[in-house]
Amino acid sequence: MKGLFQLLGSIIVSPIVYFVGLAIFAGTMSGISAQSKGQYDAAVAEASVSSAAAEADAAAKAAETATTDIASDAAVAAASALEVTATTMFSDYQDNEIAADGKYKGKALLVSGTVDSISSDFMDKPVVQLTAKPFGFVQASDLPKDVAASLKKGQKVTLACTGNGEVIGFPAVSGCTVQ
């Protein structure tokens, strides 16, 4: 019976202690004078303005550097890209997928071939297939929609892409742009 009274006592006292603590905390917070709050707000506003200006300057410098870096990276990638036809790439994957992955996967490629189809994937992103042999193809993704829309079936193209391995038995490339 002694334990029951202790349990009931703690159940009754716990909320009271909680609300007393909450009242003390609220009283302390409301004790901040309007003057010190005003000084605090002014200091925060001044710091925000100066940090926003510094961030804007840093962002402008970073954007300028990034634009220069992207242009030079694209030029280097196009110059050092491995040139391959869609038929050769397809044949290499048919002969030995492991060796072909070592040769193409993750590498900058210039893939040339004839457009077999232009469609959308499950996320509504353009997918272009380049003909390779009578029944094969190389699947190219990540082309901008306006570029994919301008392509025609039977058109000969060269795509600058990154090798993406083999997907469902066919070579895949991604991050493509038309050269």
pLDDT number for residue 131: 95
Q: Are residues 101 and 60 in the same domain?
A: no
The pLDDT > 70 percentage for the chain reads 59
Q: Are residues 154 and 70 in the same domain?
A: no
What confidence category does residue 134 fall into, taking pLDDT thresholds of 50, 70 and 90?
Answer: confident
Q: How many CB atoms lie within 10 A of CB 90?
A: 25
Q: Are residues 154 and 93 in the same domain?
A: yes
Q: Are residues 126 and 174 in the same domain?
A: yes
Q: Domain range spanning residue 69?
A: 2-76
Task: Give the CA count within 13 Å in the CB-facing half-sphere of 30.
Answer: 6
Q: Give me Rg for the CA atoms of the chain.
A: 32
Give the CATH number for residue 146. Answer: 2.40.50.140
Q: Are residues 33 and 66 in the same domain?
A: yes
Question: How many folded domains does the chain comprise?
Answer: 2
Query: Which whole number is the average pLDDT over 53-57?
Result: 49
Q: Are residues 104 and 69 in the same domain?
A: no
pTM exceeding 0.85: no
Output the six-digit token pair for 60. 């402008």
The pLDDT > 90 percentage for the chain reads 50
Q: Are residues 31 and 70 in the same domain?
A: yes
Q: Render pLDDT for 122-131 as a digit per residue (tens, 0 to 9).
A: 999 999 999 9
Look at residues 55, 76, 97 and tell me which one is the last residue of a structural domain.
Answer: 76
